């Protein structure tokens, strides 16, 4: 008479908690999302970079003008332009911090514009942020 041990399982048996069709190599991980910039975002980022470079040069040249009453505002606008360049590069690389840099830079530019020029400058500062936000509205999940 042969004795069978009830606690042994055949070598091909799966554990009770194993799911059908799953594999050991990261079955719980999602497939990587293909991040596409698209033509609109690429154009906006290129414009941001060129505008940032030209604005930084223009503001820097204004800082030595004798009729500038608040030179610290000009310095703030140079910093804003450089921050926008960094933010555009970060957005292209899908870094979430770049969105925060861009938002903070825009807020600083709005404050400087209100102090230096007046309320109409808010439109000039908010419009680019609205355009970038509109272009990125469906791409938030791409950012790390």
19-30 pLDDT, tens digit per residue, is 554 455 555 566
What is the pTM assigned to this prediction?
0.68
* 37 or 78, higher pLDDT: 78
pLDDT tens digits along 93-102: 989 899 899 9
Q: What is the percent of the chain where pLDDT is above 90?
A: 15
Asked if 126 and 110 count as a contact pair (C-beta separation under 8 A), the reply is yes
**Gap between the Cα atoms of 90 and 85, Å rounded:** 9
What's the token pair of residue 141?
């999940």
Contact by Cβ (8 Å): 81, 56: yes
What average pLDDT does this structure show over 96-116? 87
């Amino acid at each position: 008479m042969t004795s069978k041990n009830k606690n042994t399982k055949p070598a091909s048996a799966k554990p009770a908690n194993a799911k059908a069709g799953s594999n050991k190599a990261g079955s719980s991980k999602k497939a990587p999302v293909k991040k596409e910039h698209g033509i609109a975002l690429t154009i906006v980022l290129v414009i941001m970079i060129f505008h940032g470079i030209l604005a930084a040069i223009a503001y820097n040249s204004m800082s030595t003008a004798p009729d500038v009453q608040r030179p610290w505002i000009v310095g703030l606008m140079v910093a804003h332009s450089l921050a926008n360049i960094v933010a555009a590069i970060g957005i292209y690389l899908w870094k979430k911090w770049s969105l925060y840099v861009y938002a903070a830079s825009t807020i600083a530019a709005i404050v400087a514009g209100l102090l230096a020029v007046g309320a109409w400058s808010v439109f000039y500062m908010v419009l680019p942020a609205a355009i970038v936000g509109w272009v990125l509205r469906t791409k938030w999940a791409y950012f790390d």
